[in-house]
Chain A
Amino acid sequence: MGEFKVHRVRFFDYMPSAIRAMAFNSRTERLALSRADGALEVFNFADSYFQEKVIPGQDGRAVEALCWVRGRLFSAGLNGEITEYDLENLRPKYTMEAYGGPVWTICSNSQGTHLAIGCEDGTVKIFEVLEETIRFQRNLDRQKGRIISLSWHPSGALIAAGMMDMIKVFNAESGHATHRLLVERGVGASKSREVVVWSVAFLSDHTIISGDSAGKVQVWDGVTGTLVRTHLVTKWDVLALSVSRDESSLLAGTSEGTVVQFQFISSTVDQHDKEWVRTRTFKNHTHDVRALAHTDTAVVSGGMDTQLVVRPLLEKVEKNTQESALRKIAFPHRSLVSCGKKAGMLLFQFHGHLELWRLGESDGHGEEKHTCTLSETHGGCQRWQGDDHICCSALSPCGGWLAYSTISSVRLYRLQYNGSNISITKVAKLPKVLRSAHQLCFSSDSSKLFASTTHSSVIIIALSQSECKYLHTLRPKSGTRQPVHLMSASEDGKWLATANSDCEIHVYSLHKLKLHCTVPVYSSCPTAMAIHPTTSNLVMVHADQQIFEYSLVQKEYTEWSRKLQKQGLHHLWLARDTPITHLTFNPRNPAHIIMHDTYMFCIIDQNLPLPDQKTLFYNQMTLRSLPEPERTSHSHSFKICKTFQHLLCVSLLEDHSLVVVERPLLDIASQLPAPVRQKKFAT
């Protein structure tokens, strides 16, 4: 296939932020996850754990707890506010001040009619969930000391609240505390320190289970208010608890990075009394496990080490299948890098700022020239309103324009170079219609900016030296309300393709300014797509790793795509657990498609035979060892390179050299704070 010059870039200091809270909605199979920077992510567990939606955070908005109420998502944080999210427009719908100081926890009753929040000032506040909003209903009896954790009894009549040194049980009707369960402090030095009940769970048989900062998981009888059993699981804190839906299994996440499973079983054969027995310990984290979810088949955990880990319970899933594999989700399932192909420039998106870099000249020196960090160097004009974080950004192919969007505004900048200097000017007047965008994209000749907004519509802005003009709004006909998460314009300026979370892919004709066609909807969400520069074929890769090629001219799947579907993809390809996040073409060889996931990049040569199930899939080493003439007989269309690891972007510049942006997970791990100290053999 040949040689590629590769710009190996490791200066993107991308640092995911720690996972703070999690909530799993078993009806929709969506996991909502919040990070320390306030960002919110929604994963679709039914669709290969695809990260469907991302709502950017905001400075000062720390989400401490999340809660689903049917399809609606609520959060509460230490800023004292309750927020409901608009999952269609990927922004907070409203926030409501709770007037109780920082809010530590939020929890809904099983009927989904009320929310309870636990506040710093010692009150548990009950909010009624209304159609469009929530309304404060009343306070339960105020306690001394903060309310750290809450759990409703499934009947909705009782609420257990974890506090400092104790658990209180409230009658939700009367608001009075009915029981006070004293939690013992740790031994030794920690005797003098208050014990924090980080998490409580109230089961339908009136058992209360608590996890606390002394490392205990305790089982209480909620009727009599007596301690039934104490399990000392760690020397550090038990930070999170999660109970399975059938209440037969319980997870506890600790500061040591372990997740301990308890099961409700009888411990000897002839005994019919069941009790909570510690059964398994999972260690998939290096740091605190802050958030846990117990799905029907898996343990989902996340914490300080920023990775989301899905550990299937092997007795619940079929063995040796995709479903039974451990998954670690470390990177976002979307591209944070945009590449100015013609100018050899890279734009890195961080949550609060952007970095623009110019790649070194190809004279072999490889000395890069990094330009600036927008937020720092150009403080005055780039300070965004309301401390909102960036949700998307784009760099024009020529490198002359830069755009980014937060949930409240879109900014466009003009970049000019003279020698090694760069000047950045903000385009002052943007059309009013452009308020915020879910995705931004420049046309290949950098004359247009496409911005997707509500209901999957796309606004087209014409760019010129003098002004920016609103041209048109493209709307899909399907009436979807979901946001666009992928957008791709064709090289020849004819087409624009958008994909949304409903798995719909719409293709617009940019000449006629109207919808050209809708690709047949596939059940899995597209994770990357691009339009071929010469053949106008749209290539799509989905979360379940399937690849499709759709001819925009004929409005049908191409021959190659049909062949691929008929023969089926190689099982090793399907077994990969990170989605393809970027896709591009090689102008020198129109049959080449370049795509990458976190662990590899791949060049698909459409002219070569497809690998069947028996062929050696990762065959680069074999081919290397073979003499030149024999190689053709052994090669197949998937050329996979794993030399570069933990990829954030692979793209092809105009001079046909590859740009590979790496971020080794080890580097991320090394920047994490030190984990809790653990005893090793002779220490």
Chain B
Amino acid sequence: MAALYEGYTLCGLVQAQNQSDSGIQGIESERDSDHVVVTDSTRSVTLYKVSDQKPLGSWTVKQGQTLTCSAVYNSHTKEYVAVSDNKVIRVWKEEDIILDKAFKATVSSDVWRVHSVPGGEPVVLFQRGAVRLLDSLLSAPQQPVEEVLAQEEAIRWSTTVIAEAAQFVIFQTEQKGDHFLYLQRPNLNAVQRYRLEREEPGLSPLSFSASYRDKHINLLYLYPNGHVYQSVVSVRGPGMEEEAQALPLPRNLLFALPVGEGLLGAASALALDEAHVAVVGVPHPSAGAGKDFLCIWNTNFQTLQAGKEMSGKIYGQLWSYSSKLFIPHGKSLSVIPYECPKSSLASALGKLRQARTEESKAPASVPSWNTILHGEKVQPSRTVETRKTRTTRKTQSAPSLTVDQVLELIKTAPVEEVQREVEGLLSRSDIQELQPSVGQLASSLVSRSVADPAFYTPGTLAQLVHTQCLCHSVCPDLLLLALERKDYFLCQLCLQLFPDVPEAVTCACLKTFISVPDADADSMSLEPDSVAFMESVITGGRGQGGLQNGFSPAPFEEDGTDPLSGGGAQTKTTAEDKEKTVTEPGQTCPVGLHKAVLLNEVLQTAYSDTFLLPHLKDLSSQQVILFLQYLQFLYLRYSQDTFTQTHGLRSPTLTQIMDWVCLLLDAHFTVLVMTPEAKGLLLNLHRFVKSQVRLFSELGKIEGSLEELQKIKVKKEVGQYSIEVIELF
């Protein structure tokens, strides 16, 4: 299926005096597919880099002069050519800043247009039908120019086409209601003249487009009654005598576009390839009148392949360069990339099973790069959209909006409405189907929130995160926004559900969490499971320890054995021990409950130590000490036997805690050594490390002995040679 992608604005339109004019005279391709030259209808020419939506240069003629033909780019000489006041040809280069200082030449007759295509020479077409190569014209600007057209004949449209290494200038004229087509080869001065068949009386073609295919020039033209005709003109047409009668031009009706009531005003049809035609200014068959659409039709199957509503007024102008459509509408010139894959009947009828879309439906909580990103993302959402639009249009009453509409809405509507619509959208559609658009929704919500400090939709964002279709790289600003708005619940969700939070962001979160005042932290609402877990950590050690089989272990000695050796022997239950716990660091939680919950989330995110380490250095020593104390507290809690029972909940593992301790020490060791209050902490941690080393050496021993066991089992060593007997059944 052909598809129209999300467009973007290239520039705003300078409104001309009369409203029916877009203010743009022409758009021509420049050096490559990414540059265009836009000529406005009055005085200026602007060079744009399309992908950057940025003007690179602009030239203006003097007040009082007007450009009468759109500027073209001569790729041979890398020069621009334009005509002002019908007779003055101007040639300049990109370096020239002031147009008036550049080269100009006045010719003897009025110029209609200058045409230039890559691979061809610029050609000047005079209003009276004569054609000259620019080079030869400039060598003698005042040379006489013959009149080709009859007295009341006037050019309406013209273009140039390269066919079989020859350049053709094609123009269409009107004379008293009759329409003629001229094919002229500038180097040969050979003219072919054709008469267009008459459509209904009074109708003259609205737009033309010409292309060269299969040794023929294909012309496509649209009449106000919606009929699109195609005519094929042979390149090697019969050599015409000067005075010979114009041949009738055979045509065939490609298709009749539905025009509704009345005739088309400003419309344009443009052949994209052999099977696709872009049409603008013709109403969408399933939308009501009064809406302007850009549509791609398949001429083979007469099907509408893609449509896009264009806001604002349509001027019936349309250009296409390198898979991008340029369309002025309303107050802006939009660039809409499109794609016309080879069509088949199956795809035209929507019956082509695409392996890719199938794959995208596979349940994947971790988004697959291929399906979500770029190219493929548009297709599924588009099908969803068109189907939806159709149903919406049919019923009219249902207020539900499509993804695109919601996206539009997010940009402007108030908070409540946005929340309502997004939630509505989420509840209506299947999440799998929505997957690609969730990212778009989130990023547009975030960009609005960033731009507009008053706008923030925590609930909606949380809901989007909950779909598990988001990840950090899809919407990199989300987590930072949540931090900025102090929406810790959303932060927690993101940390939990995003598989790819960068280390820098993790660290930023950590820093913020540590420095949140406990009072603030306690007022926020966080995910209940994690809070429950943390509660059990803080209270659990004391509450439950002693209950195990009524066993109340002896308190452990300060400097006696190391805290790990006894396993559960360190739990303190008796009242006198409670007093001791106060003095013992690590036995009371150094941070508040909610803060601890947030810190746990940080502990559980994935990271790579090389990337994390530099960011950890940003923490202040106070923060580091606090965090280390908390980690120590967790570590001690975890080393107690009583703790295993709560592990059904999502919680940091012992290894994660140890890794973080190591990382923090790596990052801040010298600072900590110099800080007096950290001394006790470091001593304790040193003890942990000792115990860990001992643990791992024990594990190593166990591993060694287990390996030995395995070796014993595979005793059956086969020698270099043996004779065996096998039995087959």
Using a CB–CB cutoff of 8 Å, the interface residues on chain A facing chain B are: 1-11, 263, 265-270, 272, 274, 277, 279, 315, 318, 360, 362, 364, 366-368, 603, 620, 623-624, 631, 635, 639, 641, 643, 657, 682
Tell whether, in the assembled complex, residue B726 and residue A269 are in contact, meaning their CB atoms are under 8 Å apart.
Answer: no
B675-729 interface with A by 8 A CB criterion:
696, 700, 718-729
Do B721 and A620 touch across chains, with their CB atoms under 8 A apart? no
Q: Is the CB of B728 within 8 A of A10?
A: no
Residues of B418-448 at the interface with A, using a CB-CB cut-off of 8 Å, are: 436, 439-440, 443
Q: Is the interface of B mostly helix, strand, loop or mixed?
A: mixed
Specify which chain B residues have a CB less than 8 angstroms from the CB of A368 in the assembled complex: 720-721
Interface centre among B355, B372, B727, by most A CB within 10 Å? B727
Ranked nearest first, the 7 interchain pairs of A and B with the lowest CB-CB distance are: A623-B729, A269-B439, A366-B723, A11-B720, A1-B728, A368-B721, A682-B696
Contacts of B725 in A (CB 8 A): 3-6
Bound form: Cα–Cα A404–B141 in Å: 85
Q: How far is the CB of B518 from chain A (nearest CB, A)?
A: 36
Tell which of A277, A360, A620 touches B729, judged by Cβ atoms closer than 8 Å.
A620
**Apart from A4-B726, A8-B724, A315-B359, what 8 extra A-B contacts exist at CB < 8 Å?**
A3-B727, A268-B439, A268-B476, A269-B443, A269-B474, A315-B370, A360-B721, A643-B726
Interface residues in B461-496 (C-beta closer than 8 Å to A)? 473-476
Nearest A residue to B721, CB-CB:
A368
| A–B pairs, 30, beta carbons within 8 Å | A1-B729, A2-B728, A3-B727, A5-B723, A7-B723, A8-B721, A8-B722, A8-B723, A9-B720, A10-B718, A263-B369, A265-B374, A266-B374, A268-B443, A268-B475, A269-B373, A270-B439, A274-B374, A277-B369, A315-B368, A315-B370, A364-B723, A366-B721, A366-B722, A368-B720, A603-B728, A631-B729, A635-B729, A639-B728, A641-B726
- Which residues of the partner chain A approach B721 to less than 8 Å between Cβ atoms? 7-11, 360, 366-368
In the bound assembly, the distance between CA atoms of A9 and B727 in angstroms comes to 18
CB distance from A1 to the nearest CB of B (A): 4
Whole-angstrom CA separation of A11 from B475 in the bound complex: 61
- What is the bound-complex CA distance between A127 and B725, given in angstroms? 61
- A residues in contact with B51, CB < 8 Å: 272
Q: Which residues of A contact B726 (CB under 8 A)?
A: 3-4, 6, 641, 643
Contact pick for B720, options A10, A269, A270, A362, CB 8 Å: A10
Chain B positions within 8 Å of A, measured between CB atoms, are 51, 355, 359, 368-370, 372-374, 377, 436, 439-440, 443, 473-476, 696, 700, 718-729
In the complex, A550 Cα to B579 Cα: how many Å?
95
- In the complex, are the beta carbons of A270 and B440 less than 8 A apart? yes
Considering only CB atoms, which chain A residue lies closest to B438 in the complex? A269
Task: Kindly state the separation between the CA atoms of A639 and B728 in the bound complex, as whole angstroms.
Answer: 7
CB contacts (< 8 Å) of B370 on chain A: these are 265, 315
- Residues from chain A with Cβ under 8 Å of B443 in the complex: 268-270
Complex interface: chain A residues within 8 A of B718 (CB): 8, 10
Residues from chain B with a CB closer than 8 A to the CB of A620 are 728-729
Known: A269-B377, A272-B374. A624 touches B729 (CB 8 A): yes
Residues of A within 8 A of B359 (CB): 315
Instruction: Tell me if A6 and B720 are in contact (CB < 8 A).
Output: no
Residues of A within 8 A of B436 (CB): 269
CA distance A267 to B726 in the complex (A): 59
- Is the beta-carbon distance between B473 and A267 smaller than 8 angstroms? yes
Q: Please indicate the chain B residues that have their CB under 8 angstroms from the CB of A623 in the complex.
A: 729
A270 to chain B: which residues have CB within 8 Å?
Answer: 439-440, 443
Q: How far is the CA of A308 from the CA of B473 in the complex (A)?
A: 35
Question: Smallest CB–CB gap between A343 and chain B, Å?
Answer: 17
Chain A neighbourhood of B700, CB < 8 A? 682
Q: How far is the CB of B419 from chain A (nearest CB, A)?
A: 21
How many Å lie between the Cα of A603 and that of B725 in the bound state? Answer: 16
A624 partner residues in chain B, CB cutoff 8 A: 727, 729
The residue in chain B whose Cβ has the minimal distance to the Cβ of A622 is B729
Q: Which residue of A lies closest to B356 (CB)?
A: A315
Tell me, rounded to whole Å, the shortest Cβ–Cβ distance linking A681 to chain B: 8
Cβ distance B614 to chain A, nearest Cβ, rounded Å: 13
Please, which residues of chain B bring their CB within 8 A of the CB of A5? 723-725
Given the interface contacts A360-B723, A366-B723, does A269 sit within 8 Å of B372 by beta carbon?
A: yes
A364 to chain B: closest residue by CB? B723
> What residues on B are CB-neighbors of A4 within 8 Å?
725-728
Rounded to whole Å, the gap between the CB of B615 and the closest CB of chain A is 17
* Structural contact, A639 and B374, CB atoms closer than 8 A: no
- Smallest CB gap from B8: residue in A: A272
- Measured between alpha carbons, how far is A4 from B374 in the docked complex, in Å? 63
Neighbouring B residues of A269 by C-beta, 8 Å: 372-373, 377, 436, 439-440, 443, 474-475
Give CA–CA (A268, B443) in the complex, Å: 10
* A11 to B696 CA separation, bound complex (whole angstroms): 41
* A641 touches which of B355, B368, B440, B728 (Cβ 8 Å): B728
The residue in A9, A318, A364, A603 that gathers the most chain B C-beta atoms within 10 A of its C-beta is A9
B547 to chain A, nearest CB (A): 35
Cα–Cα, bound, A6→B725 (Å): 6
A662 to chain B, nearest CB (A): 8
Find chain A residues with CB under 8 A from B355 CB: 318
A266 touches B723 (CB 8 A): no
Q: Which listed residue (A6, A272, A318, A639) contacts B723, Cβ 8 A?
A: A6
The complex places the Cα of A412 from the Cα of B224 at a distance, in Å, of: 91
Complex CA distance for A7 and B369, rounded to whole angstroms? 54
Complex Cα gap A9–B724 (Å) = 10
Using CB atoms, name the residue of chain B closest to A602.
B728
Closest residue of chain B to A269 (Cβ to Cβ) is B439
What chain A residues lie within 8 Å of B722 (beta carbons)?
8, 366
Q: How far is the CA of A635 from the CA of B729 in the complex (A)?
A: 8
Smallest beta-carbon distance A477→chain B, Å: 42
Residue of A nearest to B693 (CB): A682
Minimal beta-carbon separation of B693 from chain A (angstroms): 8
Return B722 CB to nearest CB of chain A, in Å: 5
Nearest to B374 among chain A residues (CB) is A266
Residues of A within 8 A of B727 (CB): 1-4, 624
- How many Å from the CB of A232 to the closest CB on chain B? 8
How near does chain B come to A299, taking the closest CB pair, in angstroms? 16
In Å, the complex CA distance between A315 and B720 comes to 45
Report how far A631 CA is from B728 CA in the complex, Å: 11
Closest residue of chain A to B367 (Cβ to Cβ) is A269
Contacts of B729 in A (CB 8 A): 1, 620, 623-624, 631, 635, 639
CA distance A315 to B354 in the complex (A): 12
Could you tell me the distance between the alpha carbons of A153 and B616 in the complex, rounded to whole angstroms?
A: 43
Chain A residues within 8 Å of B440, by CB: 269-270
CB distance from A640 to the nearest CB of B (A): 9
What separation, in Å, do the CA atoms of A364 and B722 have in the docked complex?
9
- When distances are taken between beta carbons in the complex, the residues of chain A under 8 Å from B439 are 268-270
With most chain A CB atoms within 10 A of its CB, the pick from B372, B439, B723 is B723
How distant is B471 from chain A, measured CB to nearest CB, in Å?
Answer: 10
Give the interface centre of A272, A360, A603, A643 by most chain B CB atoms within 10 Å: A272
B723/A265 in contact, CB under 8 A: no
* Min C-beta distance of B472 to chain A, whole Å: 9
CA distance A3 to B728 in the complex (A): 6
Task: Give the Cβ gap from B358 to chain A, nearest Cβ, in Å.
Answer: 10
- Alpha-carbon separation in the docked complex, A639 to B370 (Å): 45
Give chain A residues whose Cβ lies under 8 Å from the Cβ of B377: 269
Chain A residues within an 8 Å CB radius of B475: 268-269
List of A residues within 8 angstroms of B372 by Cβ: 269
CB-based contact B369/A279 at 8 Å = yes
Alpha-carbon distance between A266 and B51 when the two chains are bound, in angstroms: 14
Cα separation A3 to B723 with both chains bound (whole Å): 13
Complex formed: what's the CA distance from A267 to B474 in Å?
7
Nearest CB of A to B465, in Å: 15
Residues of A within 8 A of B374 (CB): 265-266, 272, 274
Chain B CB within 10 Å, residue with most, of A267, A269, A368: A269
A8 to B725, CA, bound (A): 10
Nearest residue (CB) in A for B700 is A682
The minimal Cβ–Cβ distance linking A584 to chain B, given in whole angstroms, is 15
* In the complex, residue of chain B having the shortest beta-carbon distance to the beta carbon of A363: B723
- Chain A, Cβ-Cβ closest to B500: A267
